[in-house]
Amino acid sequence: MDVWEMAQWSAWVGLEEARSVVPRLPGVYMARSGLEGCVVYVGCAKERAGNGSRPANGMRGRIAKYTSGLASGLGEAALDRALADPQWLRERLAEVEAGQPVRAAQWAKAALARAELELCWAVTATGDGAKALEDRVIAVLRPTLWNR
């Protein structure tokens, strides 16, 4: 089955834009890379509860974590690829040698920028539904994915 038939997917948007428009609901998101031209990562977010003063986060919370420099999931996968790119590493080393070292989170953000990511997503009714959809999408797209 084609992944586009598995759910109602949003249009593709850039990672930074996605940070403010992805719903605060459970669902599945796909990332495609401008460098590779295909879907490279599939993830899901369950119901991510707020803390009383903040609303629930769902997929928006997950994407916000990545864009803040969290090196897990999509962020870790992008950083792994950047660290395997000698030119990217030379640029980071030149920054350090010029007295401009940055924190690890900044490297993670730079790795995401390097990947030129766009996202699309599908909302699900529950977190369990998100996990089930994620598993089905990964099964179809596995050969091209950065997912471990």
How do the domains of the chain map onto residue ranges? 3-77+116-144
The pLDDT of residue 56: 66
**Tens digit of each residue's pLDDT (9 = 90 or more) over 65-120:** 888 887 788 999 999 999 999 999 999 999 999 999 889 889 999 999 999 999 99
Beta bridge partners, 30, equal: 42, 120
What are the φ/ψ torsions at residue 19 (nearest 5 degrees)? -55, -30
CA dihedral 64, 70, 74, 80 (to 10 degrees): 150
**In which residue are the tokens 């030119």 written?**
87
Contact in structure between 30 and 144 (CB atoms under 8 Å): no
Q: What is the CATH number of domain 3-77+116-144?
A: 3.40.1440.10
**Tens digit of each residue's pLDDT (9 = 90 or more) over 19-70:** 999 999 999 999 999 878 899 999 999 886 655 556 668 999 999 988 888 7
Q: How far apart are the first and last CA of the chain?
A: 22
